Amino acid sequence: MAFGKKIGLQGLRYQGGGPMLAWVLHRIGGLAMVIFVGMHIVSSFAMQQFGSDLGTAINTIYESWPFQAVLFFFVIFHALNGLRIILLDLWPQFLKYQREATWLQWIVFIPMYGLTVFIMIINGLSGN
């Protein structure tokens, strides 16, 4: 017992709500972008220096539509969440509306990401 409370498995249950989920997705988005840029650098280096199949294999991975769909999810979310954080930092009086700002972020994100995926599907089906 910690401070007289029974923790057990209940302490592992997620209790953060929307802002905590946005925080986690923001961090995962930053990591996804770092991984993408790292893959791009390794691929370019391998193709330029060695002309190897490793660079072609890495290009095949990050040019595939499933990888791009996940990457676009995190890039768009990261950008919108960063904008929300900047606005709340610049105007601290709006911090009491943080949950509403998070909902507004999702309201903007969903159609934006949906349109992106729609364009990716159309381009994929047309062979572009």
Q: What is the pLDDT of residue 53?
A: 85
Separation of alpha carbons 50 and 77, rounded Å? 36
Separation of alpha carbons 2 and 36, rounded Å? 42
Separation of alpha carbons 117 and 97, rounded Å? 30
Q: What is the pLDDT of residue 62?
A: 85
Pick the CATH number of 16-126 from 3.40.800.10, 2.60.40.420, 3.40.50.720, 1.20.1300.10: 1.20.1300.10
Query: How would you write the pLDDT of the chain (128 residues) with one tens digit per residue?
Result: 456 566 666 666 666 777 788 888 999 999 999 999 999 999 989 888 887 788 888 888 888 888 999 999 999 999 999 999 999 999 989 889 888 898 999 999 999 999 999 999 888 888 76
Q: What is the pLDDT of residue 89?
A: 92
Helix residue ranges, H only, 16-64: 17-49, 53-62
Would you mind telling me the total number of residues written for the chain in this entry?
128
Strand, helix or coil at 118?
helix
